[in-house]
Each structure stands twice: as structure tokens, then as C-alpha cells.
């Protein structure tokens, strides 16, 4: 019934490739099926002005898509002179999601900038970004631990991962690809921790409004999917 | 326990003043306590390029805050040369929420632009905007009906209203003001129709992750609050 | 003969509502007939770089129109990414006019930012802005006086108010509304102090050039009108 | 008494050099003492959208200063990404002033763009620009007349010229140079036609407010100065 | 003597991976050592305005670097709101180089947009981009040929490839990596066709000026290197 | 055979007028035939951030064209809100070329900003800019020497000048004017020092690729031309 032939609760093949960047302190190429996102974590000296002399650090994120990551070439945001609303919304979400599992005091007065660049898009780029970014962030903290700057387990309190769910052809399904996403009646994104705490919920009716029961079904699908993603993150850490 | 002395399920005083603009086809000054938003609905000839010759119309929204709507003066977005991520995120939400109850084919190939400008902010500006914008949109459609352009009941399928809920001082509360909002552990916005269908859910853990039970409590609070808002919209229509 | 039925030397009904903003140190909602401008005065810590360590302060102004303040919806300046020439010209005029009656040394090394936002426009928005902004500035200084920061009478040397005059249908008239303004042959704005000193004169031939005599008639109309506005400011102060 | 040793009613040496551009349809290098402005008039096919199919044309102006036209190098506006408020204000004034003596219907549905670029500044750049731009516009119309596109005398109804006056060291003086301008108590710009009609008056109190009598003295100075400038324009036309 | 241990005329390992993008009509991941560039070719309906109704097509290019492609994270151009001078210079070069071997009339009134996005940088990103972009362009034309839109051999007249050479530690060397590039006295980029014709030469003295003899040595190195690159392109085509 | 009737190795009439700016520390109006560029050199207090506390100075350049410097009026870059790629490319080239003959340590921690503004364009604006800018820079250093800030001969190590060459109608020619430039098959720019060292070479095939022999012929033409330009610079210095 799903265009891809997947079962309603079946995610696409997910893979993580760590240390893909020669330069970045942490990096991960994450793939959810044909959605491929390159995540890098960069340790930076500067902190945002409002944190100066507070002893606290910051984790922030930027998101971008290569112009031909999509079916039709999109205008390059650098050329059009500004980041669109969707881009800003997604990068704010990534930053919030990661900060939910970071102890900013334990990080100390430093900033880690996460860049999530979509090399190829097939639905679910924001949830893949969050899930891969966690690994890049982890490896950046490992790099810092090796230099006695932080203790990873004090800074990084838990895993965080994310998945999209939606109602497609009247069926609740997990991990929508582009074909499903563009036809879904309801579209929701969930971000949760390894312990199962909810970090962020976003549900949108694309067509007709949805009911609380439908939403709870999506939440259940997401909970299972995110648990699997956290397991995969753990496997990737070896 | 709440700074305002309100009960956990008690909203602020809500009022709607219709026809506040000499020029706009529909307008409403909405107040949720000290949060005041001026909503206007403007009928425009043009439609977005992607709808040309489809017979469908469009409803879009823009959001802004006056620089001193807030406790500290903010930089004027027109002067800084771009709308911030928060602004873009909110105006996308307002537009989606209204379109969820509009039959775009029945509207015909026209655009209605909703402007929500916050004259004074005290928390909950996006939910007040959506709730007031529905009335401005309704009155714009009435204006069009009087000119035989549309039938209101064919275009506007239902009410839509929105409220914020959150966990403040470990208690689930409704309709957070600024003091509560800035200290809340979890912050959620809900958009629902008159029939109780869910249009949009956004929940964010500001501090520690929240549980499914906590989230369902917020959803219940919201459901009741939105039902009251819809009643108030009906009273405002007389 | 005037579309509004007013006599040539008759201004529209003018009203001032003080303390309309919960947050601003000074505020005033000024109405010249259907032209409504919300003026706020914000005390800011920062001063412009060129005044640092001079002991002098600064008063500056920003001006904006809500997109549907006008008969046809205008593009939001924040969305188009820059303030237009008319906006910049008006806000420079407001700032100059207010500074003409302020002793910047007595103010001390602080900046007061005046925001004039047009909620509804029907001609004469710049002159209404100046006249209302003076009250917002006054109340901001009162707020500072209550905190022993300044003495109002040392900083604010006089009243300042403004009015437009023009030649409409070959007749010199005062306080043009939009219908008159768009058909006027000559359009002039005058800013004067309570003592009758001239702060700013701007006269423009929209159609054929005007004579010195015509201009002097406009100046007389303006002198009387501004005297009335200063009286109304005094009444508003109680 | 004036830094330059000039009498109060004595303008600087004014010269016009026509046909200084190989490419432009009309051009003039105007010098008011050390203020040098290159004015070009370009005939363009396009008209602004609001004039399409009206049979009317348009005359518009742009103004710029080379970065080192001034005593201290200013940031290049092209590099800072926008034209400042002063630039926009001046170019709007130049355009309005020229249009006051142009019959836009006789011009036909065409646009003439005037560029006034200040090569060297020493006060009075806007008034020199207007005065020189009139010659560039005249020569552009001559070029068009030679191609049977228009009749110059039907399009260009009169001369237009401009001069600054001000109160310097308590004395009304004409044609202020930079030293005078930066110390003037009152600063005014006048634009008049060859027939003596007033096109634009701008008077600003830089320090204390000015009186009506003072203003009339400045207006008299300007009237005489502009009459001389018109004579010089006529001589330049030969 | 070279930091990498390479001989003066030894290029880094070069590889091409074709068809790396699910969406693009042509794509190639090119690696010159640790410099990795993702090149996509997108067929677009639109042509630039100046080519409308000429029967000719266009090939254009855009270039970007991921923020952490480099040793230190660079500001994202989309976030800073404009493309820097270096970016614009490089993408103009890529476009010119490709057009040198394309028959724009045989292409027909279509545009092919090449995007070169640097995933990882280690010197020579512009020359790697050109060399990889040629393959993406080739495969896009193949895609079009399969749809009877063009004949590849009529549109694509020859190979084009590029290499950097420079004088490092007083020695002429080929294919500088970042360490060499940042210390080179002279830096030159060469673009040539498969037939050995020169398309573009850029030579810059970073320290002291260079002599004609030195330049000719670099040109010889480049000629050999580019011949090898063209061989590798042919192998990649199979 | 050349449209201008010049011989293949004949440059246009070149002239330099020094001290054309009342304000700039150094200035030169350079003319290569109908190409006229005003070059000013401005001594500035500030240095770029990356040079702070290094003891080194900086020489930078900005380039612009007046809108009607060209045959058709171009959009003013300040009005369009950004400098185009061609502008950025040229001003980077001018800056690099001048720095090649400047000892930045001997300059001390100061910046000299060169502005090259094209008053009239007829091909070769970038090479005329470099050649004239050298004189402006020289005179700025002389101005500094007169104030005991630097020794000219320690800072300015040599002359620098530039010329364009190209293949026009199958003939290698020097100093192309606009007619030749727009029809040239190959276009090259050369920057050399007084001692004959090469600072910059840029060669571009506009149509078919060029051969090494063709390129060497252009290089010979350039060498002779630049030697003449250096002689003319020396004459201009008297």
C-alpha cells in the first residue's frame, strides 16, 4: 500500500557513517533511505553575546539543502540572499533538540556549531538531521574529552533522535518518504531522548483536521521508531 | 501559585473588537489579557504564481511585532533588513491554521492576506493572532459575500482557534503570560477547529523532556480552552 | 467644498491617549481624524558610537506603517527587506524635530528611541507622528525624572508640534486628509515650537509651482493650527 | 566674515560643462566652487509599471557620492548593500524638482533617468545636482528632438534651478560651503523655476528655531541666486 | 620536499564517481586527494532573458562550500546574506570553462545549471570543480540524448579539465594542496580542452613577481596534468 | 583593420592627471582613450581585524562604474543592493596588483583604500584602474612622507601597470576598446612591475580555445605596452 512497499511501522534503512570529514571535530553522514545528510560539529571559540561571562556554553545548528538535493533544482539560498522560513524553522528545531540533552554549564563557555547539509532529499530531512547531528555532537565532545576540555558523560545527558510519522492513504505510517510526505493528510515530527522523554512534537493537518486518537497512534509509532534509532546510534558508537 | 493568581485552567480575559480598521475588508483587535494583536484581512487581486489558472485561491499571513511591544525594545525588522526565524515560523503557522478551515476552490482565484501585528506582547501572541485572524478572515469573506463574490459558509468550513499551554512550576497551566512562558519547563501550542479537530500541535521541552501523560494533560486543557475561544468568537459574531 | 465638509482653516478632531503601552517608558496614541499613530518612547542604554564619552545623549525616531493602514495593502517593509525612501525621510524628520527642543547635554549619555507606527492612515501621518511623539518623549522623561535621572524641564525646552497645509482646489487649507492630499496642488509640512519658532518647513509643488504669497498663507494657517495643537498637548498633560 | 571671504549674498563660481559623456543622451558637469557633480540623462525604453498604457512618461533621478568625494572617506553604498536615507531623500527631491517643469504627456511613454554623481563635495551637492541635471535633461530632449521623438519646448516648460541658504554666524548667507554648512544654525534649500515659481522649499533649524522673518530673508537671497543660476543655464545653452 | 611527499609533477589521486545523485540529470563526485566536490547538472526549462527567442541555450554554474569543508568553520553564505567575491569569481570561471566546449546553438533554448558544492576542501577546489563538472554536464546531455532532445557529440565539442600549479619553496609544482597553496609564491590555474587548447589561464604572484620562464614551466606542468585528467575522464566514461 | 584604425601594437592615447581631488591624500584621473577612471587613495586609521597588532598595514581597492559610464545605462549597484561578481572580481584584482609592489611592514599598521570609479567606459577599465591607482597610491605615500609617517621608497618597491591584449579578427592586438573587446576571440589582462616581473595574468577564450603560441604573442605585446605605461607614469611624476 505504501509506494515503497514498506509496512506501516517499517522505517527505511538507516545508516550512520562517522568521521567523514577531515576537518570537523565530529561528523556523521546519516542516511534514511535516499535522504542523505552530512552533519558536522565544529568547536568554536566564540559564544553568543548573551552568554558571555556566564560560564555556560551553547549548541547551535544550521541547516541547508544543496540546490539539486531535490527533484527540481531549488534556488541556492546563498544566491537569493536569505535563508527561507522553512530553513530557519528547521535549524531552530535541530538546535533546540540537541540542547535538550546537553548540560550547557558542563560544556563551559564554548559554542559547538552543528551544520546539517542535505546532499540528497527524499522526505524526513529534519528528523534525519537531528538523529545524525547527535552523533556528530557526540564525537566532537569525544574530541574535546581527549584534550581534557570536558567529560562527555557530564555534558551529553542522553541520546536524542527524531522521526516523522503521518497519515497516508488513511493509514498511520512511520518515516514518510517524499512521495508519501507530499500526499499525507497529517504530518508529524517527533523528537525524543534515549530514556523516552519527549523533546519536541510537531503535528500538522495538511488536509482535514486529525483526531486525538490518530495523533496517539502516530506517537506510538514514533516511540518505537525512535527507540530503534537510539539502538542504531549505540551500534554506530560501537 | 501562578504569578497572575489565575487557576491552572483559567485563561486570561479575552476580547475581540471587530471592524477596527477603516480600510481593511475584515479586521479584529484581539486581546488575551495584556497581549494585544491587530488582525486585518486584505482581499488582493493577485494570487501566488503556482495557483494561476487552477481556479483555487490562497490565504496567507504575515506577522510582526512593534519594536516596543515587548519589555525591552527590539530592533525593527524592517530596519534590520529581514524577518527573523521566529517571525517566519509564526506567520507560516498562522497561514496553515487558517487554510485548514478554508475551501480554497470555493474562494476562487483570489488571495486574502492576513496581517497580525502585535501592538503589545505578554505571551501567547501566536495563538491570539490565529484566534483573532479567524474573525478578520470571516469578516473579509462577509464583505465579499455582500458583493456576490463568495458564499461565506462554502468557503469557511469551521472555526479555528488556538491556545498555549505549558508546564509551569511543575503544574500544567493554560494560556501562559510572559512571566510564566519565560520560566515554563514545557511550552505547547494547540490549534483546533470548532468541531474539535486538531489542526496543529507544537510541544517543546524548554528544560527537561516531558512525558506522554504530561502532554495529554496539556492537550485536555487546550481542548477546553479552545472550545471557550470558539464560543467567544461566536458571541463576537453576535 | 472640502470633501470632509471642513472649513479651510479647520483641523480634524485631534486626540491624544497617553500611557497606552504596558512596557514603554512613554507612549501616546495620537489621532488626527482617521489617522491613528501609536508613539512609544524607549529609554535605551546604548548611545550612537559618535556620542561616546561626550556626555551628550541622543533622541532618534523610527517610523512604520502597518501593511493595511492604507486603502490598498502595501508590502510589509520587513518582508521586502528594506525601508523605503519615504519611510527613511519621515523618520529622519521626526528625529530632527524632537531634537530641536531637547537639550542633549541635559539628557546625559543615553538614547531615547521614538517609534511611530501608523495603525491607520488618512493623510498627515508624519505631522501626527511628531505631535504625538512629543507627548511620548515627555512621559519618558517624566519616568526618568521619577528615578532621578533627569529634570524634565531642563531636558525638554519647549513643545513641538506639526501640521500639514496645502492648496486644494485652488484654496489654501489646513490638515489635509488623504482625499485632499492626493489631489493637492501644493503640499507643505510645518514643524514649530510652543514659542512659535520654526523647526522645519517643507513645501512641495505637486502640480504647478506656487508663489511666495500662497506659501505665506499656508504658513499662517500652520501657525494657528500648531498653536492649537500645543494647547491640546498641554490639556493632555492635564 | 564667511570663511571663504564671500559676501552674504555672493554665490561661489558656478560653471556648467555640457556633453561630457560619450554615451549619455545628455550630460553636464556642474561646479559650484569645489562641489563637482556629473549629471547624465539616459533615455530608457521602459517606464515604471504604474504608467503603462497611460501615454505618460516619467523623469526619475538617482544620486550618489564617490566614497572619497568628502573630507573623510565614506563607505561605498554599493558595498554596504543599501542607499542611505540621505541619498534616497536627495534623489527623490531631484526627481520631483525636474518633473515640476516637464509635461509628462508630451514626453510620451518613455523614462528619462538622471544620474547625479558627486565627484567632489563641498556643500550644496543637492542644489548643484538639480541645477546641472536640468541641463542634462534639456540636452537629452534635444537629442530626442533631433530624432523627431519630441518637441523640446513642449516637454520642458521652464528652467529649474536650486540653491541653499542658511543662517551662519547669525547672518543669512547664500550658497553655503561645507565649513559654513556644518556650522549653520538654519539650513534651507530652495528650488524655483525660471518664471520665479517655487517648486520646493526645505528649511531646517539645526540649532535653535528660526523666525518667519529670518526665513523670508533666506527666501529673498534664494530668489536672486536662482535667477542668476537660470541666467547661467541660458548662457550655457548659448 | 613537498609536505605530502609528492614529486613536483605528481598530482594527487584523482577519482570520479558518476551518478551519485538520485535526482540530477547528471552528477559526479570528484576527488583530488582530500578535496571532494559534488557536481550536479540540472536541466532547466528557463533560459536567461537575453537568450529568449535566439534558439541558443546556456550553461551556467554555481559554487559553494559547506561551512565546515575547511580547517576552520566559515560563515554560511546563505546566513550572511550574500555570496563572497571569491565564490562569484569561481562560479563565473566554471561557467566560462564549460561553455568553451559547448555548442550553445546545438543545445537549443535550454539552460543547464551546474552546481559544484565542496564537501571537503584541501586546495584546488575550483579546478576539481571544473574537471568533475564536465562529467556531470556530459551525463546530463546523455540523459537528454536518451530523450531525443540533443545529440551529445554535437553539443559537447571536447573535454575540458583544469589543474592548479604554483611555485612552492622555489620549485614549480602541480596540484597544490592547502598547505602548499597557502605558502606558494605564485599560484596559477589552467583550464584546457582535450585537444590541448587553452581555455583559461590565471596566474597570480602571491609574494614576489614571477618571470615568463617560471610561468612557462607551470604551463608545461599543467599541460601534462590536464592530459592525464582528460584520460581519467575518458576512463570514467568507460 | 582595427575599428579605431590603430596598429596591432598601438595603445590608445594614455594620460594621467594627478591631484584631481581636493580631499584625497592621493588621486589621479587616468584616461586610456575614452576610458576615464578617477582613482583616489585614502589613508584610513583602521586596519582589517586580521592585521591588528601585527605591525603590518594593508592596501585594498574598491571599483565602481557610474550607471551611465556605458553605452546602455546599467543599474546602480547601490540601488540593486549588492556589488556584482564582475565588480568584486575587478576590485580584488586591483588590490592584489598594488599589494604586489608594497612592503606592508614598511607601511605600518594603517590601511590605504583605493577607489577606482569609472566615469566613462570604453574597454580596459580594470587595466586603466590599476595603472592610475598606482599613481594615486604613490601620491598618498608622498603625503604621508611629508608628515614623517613613511619613506615612499621603502614602502613602494616598484611601479605596477596593466594592459589588456586580445585576439581580434584573428590578429593579436593591444589595448582593446569596447568594440574590439566585445568581438575578441581571446581576451587577456596582464599586470607587471617596472622591472618586468609578472604580477598577474588572466587569459580567457571567449570563442575557441587559444594556443600557447598565441598566448606568448599577447604576452610580448603586453610587455612592451606595460613598459610604455611605466614610462608614462614616470613622466607624470615629473
Q: What is the interface size between D and F, counted as CB pairs within 8 Å?
A: 88
What chains are in contact with C, requiring at least 3 Cβ pairs below 8 Å?
Answer: B, D
The DSSP line for A211-236 is -HHHHHHHHHHHHHHHHHHHHHHHHH
Query: Is the pLDDT confidence value at D86 over 90?
Result: yes
The mean pLDDT of B94-104, rounded to a whole number, is 97
Q: Has residue A114 got a pLDDT over 90? A: yes
Nearest Cα of chain E lies from the Cα of F37 at a distance, in angstroms, of 22
E20 CA to chain A: closest CA distance, Å? 9
Please report which confidence band the pLDDT of residue B37 belongs to, taking 50, 70 and 90 as the band edges.
very high
Decide if D38 and F120 are in contact by the 8 Å CB cutoff.
no
Q: In whole angstroms, give the CA distance from residue A179 to residue F54.
A: 57
A95 is in an annotated binding site: no
Q: Do C202 and D202 touch (CB under 8 A)?
A: yes
Would you give the DSSP letter of residue A170? T
The pLDDT, as a whole number, for residue D49 is 86
Query: Could you say which of E21, E24, E83 has the minimum Cβ distance to residue A78?
Result: E83
pLDDT at E102 over 90: yes
Name the band, by pLDDT with cuts 50, 70 and 90, for residue B51.
confident
pLDDT at C50 over 90: no
The answer to whether A68 is a known ligand-binding residue is no
**Tens digit of pLDDT for each residue in C4-30?**
999 999 999 999 999 999 999 999 999
Annotated binding site of F: 86, 124-126
Nearest in space to D188 (alpha carbons), one of D169, D160, D170, D210: D210
- How confident is the model at residue B12, as a pLDDT? 98
pLDDT at position D124 over 90 = yes
Residue among E86, E199, E202 minimizing CB distance to F205: E199
The answer on whether A26 is annotated among ligand-binding residues is: no
CB-based contact A131:A233 (threshold 8 Å): yes
Tell me which chain D residues have a C-beta less than 8 angstroms from the C-beta of F70: 23
For range C73-98, the mean pLDDT: 95
pLDDT in tens, D45-73: 878 888 888 999 999 999 999 999 999 99
The mean per-residue pLDDT over the stretch F38-47 comes to 92
Among B197, B202, B210, the residue with its CB nearest the CB of A208 is B197
pLDDT at B114: 98
Where does the pLDDT of residue B64 fall: very low under 50, low under 70, confident under 90, or very high at 90 and above?
very high
Average pLDDT, integer, range C54-59: 94
Residue of C nearest to B37 (CA): C119
Cβ within 8 Å, pair B201-A200: no
- Quote the pLDDT of residue E10: 98
Query: What's the pLDDT band for E58 if we cut at 50, 70, 90?
Result: very high
pLDDT, tens digit (0-9, with 9 covering 90-100), for A171-229: 999 999 999 999 999 999 999 999 999 999 999 998 789 999 999 999 999 999 999 99
Mutation to test the A interface, candidates E4, E70, E73, most A Cβ within 10 Å: E73
State residue E157's pLDDT score. Answer: 97
* pLDDT confidence band for F45 (50 / 70 / 90): confident
Interface size, chain E vs chain F, as Cβ–Cβ contacts under 8 Å: 84
Q: Does position A146 have pLDDT exceeding 90, yes or no?
A: yes
pLDDT score, position C191 = 98
SS3 B100: coil
What is the rounded average pLDDT for all residues in chain A? 96
pLDDT at res. C48: 87
A50 has a pLDDT exceeding 90: no
d(CA A180, CA A173): 9
Binding residues of F for phosphate: 86, 124-126
Contacts across the C-D interface (CB distance below 8 Å): 84
Taking only the tens place, the pLDDT of each residue in E103-121 is 999 999 999 999 999 999 9
pLDDT of res. B47:
82
Nearest to B198 by CA among D150, D43, A219: A219
DSSP per residue, F45-83: S---GGGTTSS--EEEEEEEE-TTSSSSPPPPHHHHTS-
Are E81 and E134 spatial neighbours (Cβ–Cβ below 8 Å)?
no
| Cβ–Cβ gap D62/F67 under 8 Å | yes
Confidence of residue E208 (pLDDT cuts 50, 70, 90): confident
Cell numbers placing E115: 552546481
Answer whether residue B46 shows pLDDT above 90.
no
Interface residue of F95, F102, F105, F201 to substitute, partner E, most E CBs within 10 Å = F201
A interface test, pick of B162, B204, B217 with most A CB neighbours within 10 Å: B204
Residues of chain D with a CB closer than 8 angstroms to some CB in chain C: 82, 84-86, 88-89, 91-92, 96, 100, 188, 192-193, 195, 197-205, 208-212, 215, 219
Interface contact A73-E21, CB threshold 8 A: no
ipTM: 0.95
Closest-CA distance, C220 to chain B, in angstroms, reads: 32
Quick one: average pLDDT of B104-118?
A: 97
Report chain E residues whose CB lies below 8 A from the CB of F193. 209
Helices (H), chain F: 77-80, 85-99, 104-107, 125-146, 152-155, 178-183, 212-237
Please answer whether residues C166 and C205 qualify as being in contact, where contact means their C-beta atoms are separated by less than 8 angstroms. Answer: no
Average pLDDT over residues A109-117: 97
CB D39 within 8 A of CB D126: no
pLDDT band at A48 (very low <50, low <70, confident <90, very high): confident
- Residues 6+ away with beta carbon under 8 Å from E9: E173, E174, E221, E224, E225
Note the pLDDT of residue E52.
Answer: 87
Q: What is the pLDDT of residues F169-222, one digit of tens each?
A: 999 999 999 999 999 999 999 999 999 999 999 999 987 899 999 999 999 999
Mutate to test the interface with E, among A32, A40, A73, A129 (most CBs of E within 10 A): A73
| pTM greater than 0.90 (yes/no) | yes
Q: What pLDDT, on the 0 to 100 scale, is given for residue D48?
A: 87
Do residues F113 and F42 touch, judged by C-beta distance below 8 A? yes
Contact call for E42 and A115, based on CB within 8 A:
no
Q: How confident is the model at residue B95 (pLDDT cuts 50, 70, 90)?
A: very high
Rounded to the nearest integer, the mean pLDDT of chain E is: 96
CB B195 within 8 A of CB B182: no
Report which of residues B51 and B231 the model is more confident about. Answer: B231
Residue B41 has pLDDT above 90, yes or no: yes
Query: Mean pLDDT across chain F, nearest whole number?
Result: 96
Question: Distance, in angstroms, between C212 CA and closest chain B CA?
Answer: 37
| Chain C closest-CA separation from residue D98 CA (Å) | 11
Residue F111: per-residue pLDDT: 96
Higher-confidence position of A51 and B230: B230
CB contact under 8 A, F78 and D82: yes
Examine the pLDDT at D202 and tell me if it is beyond 90. yes
Closest CA in chain E for residue A64: E78
Closest CA to D66 of F62, B71, C7: F62
Are F188 and E195 within 8 A, CB to CB?
A: no
Indicate if the pLDDT at residue D140 is higher than 90.
yes
Residue F47 has pLDDT above 90, yes or no: no
Q: Tell me if E82 and A81 make a contact (CB, 8 A cut-off).
A: yes
Chain mean position to CA E237: 17
How confident is residue E86, by pLDDT bands cut at 50, 70 and 90? very high
The shortest C-alpha distance from E29 to chain A (Å) reads 11
> Mean pLDDT, to the nearest integer, of A20-47?
96
For chain B, the average pLDDT equals 96
Query: Does the pLDDT of residue B108 top 90, yes or no?
Result: yes
pLDDT > 90? residue D180: yes
Give B126 to chain C, closest Cα distance, Å: 17
Confidence band of F46 (pLDDT split at 50, 70, 90)? confident
Q: What is the mean pLDDT of residues B114-122?
A: 98
Q: Which chains touch B (3 or more CB pairs under 8 A)?
A: A, C
Confidence of residue C67 (pLDDT cuts 50, 70, 90): very high
For residue range C168-198, what is the model confidence (pLDDT) as tens digits? 999 999 999 999 999 999 999 999 999 999 9
More reliable by pLDDT, C210 or B208:
C210
C64 to chain B: which residues are within 8 Å by CB?
A: 66, 76, 78
Residue D47, pLDDT score = 82
Q: How far is E90 from chain F (nearest CA, A)?
A: 10
Average pLDDT score over residue span E227-231: 98
Q: Residue by residue, what is the 3-state secondary structure of C1-69?
A: CCCCCCCCCCCCCEEEEECCCCCCCEEEEEEECCEEEEEEEEEECCCCHHHCCCCCCEEEEEEEECCCC
Amino acid at each position: 500500500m505504501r509506494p515503497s512497499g514498506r509496512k506501516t511501522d517499517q522505517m527505511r534503512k538507516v545508516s550512520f557513517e562517522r568521521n567523514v570529514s577531515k576537518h570537523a571535530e565530529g561528523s556523521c553522514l546519516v542516511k534514511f533511505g535516499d535522504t542523505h545528510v552530512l552533519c558536522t560539529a565544529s568547536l568554536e571559540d566564540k559564544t553568543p553575546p548573551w552568554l558571555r561571562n556566564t560560564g555556560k556554553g551553547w549548541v547551535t545548528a544550521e541547516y541547508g539543502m544543496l540546490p539539486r538535493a531535490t527533484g527540481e533544482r531549488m534556488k541556492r539560498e546563498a544566491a537569493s540572499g536569505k535563508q527561507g522560513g522553512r530553513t530557519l524553522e528547521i535549524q531552530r528545531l535541530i538546535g533546540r533538540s540537541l540542547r535538550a540533552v546537553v548540560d550547557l554549564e558542563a560544556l563551559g563557555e564554548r559554542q559547538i556549531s552543528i551544520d546539517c547539509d542535505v546532499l540528497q532529499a527524499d522526505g524526513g530531512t529534519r528528523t534525519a538531521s537531528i538523529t545524525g547531528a547527535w552523533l556528530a555532537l557526540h564525537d566532537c565532545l569525544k574530541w574535546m574529552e581527549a584534550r581534557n576540555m570536558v567529560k562527555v558523560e557530564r555534558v551529553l545527558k542522553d541520546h536524542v533522535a527524531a522521526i516523522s510519522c503521518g497519515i497516508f492513504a488513511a493509514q498511520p505510517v512511520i518515516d514518510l518518504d517524499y512521495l508519501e510526505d507530499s500526499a499525507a493528510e497529517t504530518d508529524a515530527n517527533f523528537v525524543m531522548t534515549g530514556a523516552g522523554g519527549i523533546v519536541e512534537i510537531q503535528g500538522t493537518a495538511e488536509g482535514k483536521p486529525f483526531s486525538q486518537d490518530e495523533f496517539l497512534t502516530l506517537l506510538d509509532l514514533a516511540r518505537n521508531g525512535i527507540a530503534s534509532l537510539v539502538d542504531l546510534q549505540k551500534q554506530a558508537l560501537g
